[in-house]
């Protein structure tokens, strides 16, 4: 493989390290020879599991919804390793309910972790990355954060869209400091995301064909996701260690298929409405004919 792989040891700061992608990524980073700050709400079991790696790993408690806790964890990482080269915002979860019947507190709590957690930890680490003049920020989103429209998880997908918008601005602001940003967009993987981490609230009959159908097909199926978390973690490590990262990294066959299909439909719709859209400016011809009605609009 013709890859420009970094040979120097890097320090990774990873949130949500106790299971799923976070746990797989911790192992992949350590196996690659790098150092890890593995954070979780309850890191005790994680510390025992990783004891074989000795001083190369530091397990820390972190509630990402707390800005003070984020700053404390970053300070502890710096006290141990002196720098942070790769920040991975992985912590997140989704509960299921239709928008109409969602519990407001639950909806907000999900957003607190899935978006504000990313904001808190990123903001806590940015001064260090800026002073270093280097670093990579890896933001875990999902393919749903690009294409949306998954019935029942509005809070989760809204947060992932927000993470993407936030990360695009962050990339523009941090680039002069030598800091890169990569948004990871997986499809279904064999993690606990749709298992014990997910609460499925009662679904009214009126939403059975949307939220209910999605639950039966995806969230309550027995086959699990098609993606291998260990492979995904290894891909992320290889990509980051190469040096220059893509702005977005799709992971999984479904992620690629859904993203390409969505982009093609977006381009087709923008093209169909191009003259109408342009006509809103003073200097453009107005009025113009509306395009023929499409059978299905882009959601």
Name the residues annotated as catalytic: 141, 156, 160
And the tokens for 145?
A: 């954060």
CA distances from 87 to 51, 115, 129, 134, 181 (A): 22, 15, 9, 11, 9
Residue at token pair 């609230």: 201
Cα–Cα dist 42/19, whole Å = 11
Q: Residue 254: name the closest of 93, 163, 142 by CA.
A: 142
Q: In what order do the strands lie in the sheet with 86-89?
A: 57-61, 35-40, 11-14, 86-89, 135-140, 179-186, 248-251
Cα–Cα dist 226/190, whole Å = 7
Torsion, Cα 153 259 167 188, to 10 degrees, reads 50
Cα–Cα dist 266/261, whole Å = 9
CB 187 within 8 A of CB 148: no
Q: How far is CA 64 from the centre of its chain?
A: 14
CA distances from 142 to 51, 69, 184 (A): 31, 25, 7
Q: Residue 6: name the closest of 22, 27, 26, 29 by CA.
A: 29
């Amino acid at each position: 493989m013709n890859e420009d792989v970094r040979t120097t040891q890097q320090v990774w700061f990873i949130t949500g390290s106790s299971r799923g992608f976070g746990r797989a990524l911790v192992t992949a980073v350590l196996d690659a020879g790098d150092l890890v700050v593995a954070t979780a709400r309850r890191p005790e079991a994680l510390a025992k599991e990783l004891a074989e790696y000795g001083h190369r790993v530091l397990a820390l408690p972190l509630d990402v919804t707390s800005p003070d806790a984020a700053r404390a964890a970053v300070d502890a990482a710096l006290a141990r390793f002196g720098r942070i080269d790769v920040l991975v915002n992985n912590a997140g979860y989704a509960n299921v309910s239709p928008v109409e019947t969602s519990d407001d507190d639950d909806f907000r709590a999900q957003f607190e972790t899935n978006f504000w957690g990313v904001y808190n930890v990123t903001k806590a680490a940015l001064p260090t990355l800026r002073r270093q003049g280097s670093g990579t920020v890896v933001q875990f989103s999902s393919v749903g954060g690009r294409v949306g429209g998954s019935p029942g998880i509005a809070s989760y997908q809204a947060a992932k869209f927000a993470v993407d918008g936030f990360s695009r601005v962050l990339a523009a602001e941090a680039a002069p400091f030598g800091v890169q940003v990569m948004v990871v967009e997986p499809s279904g993987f064999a993690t606990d995301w749709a298992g014990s981490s997910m609460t499925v609230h009662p679904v009214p009959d009126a939403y059975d064909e949307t939220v209910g159908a999605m639950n039966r097909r995806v969230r309550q199926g027995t086959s699990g996701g098609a993606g291998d978390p260990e492979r995904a973690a290894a891909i992320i490590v290889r990509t980051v260690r190469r040096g220059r990262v893509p702005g977005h990294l799709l992971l999984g066959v479904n992620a690629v298929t859904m993203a390409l299909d969505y982009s093609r439909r977006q381009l087709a719709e923008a093209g169909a409405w191009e003259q109408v859209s342009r006509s809103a400016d003073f200097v453009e011809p107005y009025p113009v004919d509306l395009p023929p009605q499409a059978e299905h609009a882009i959601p």
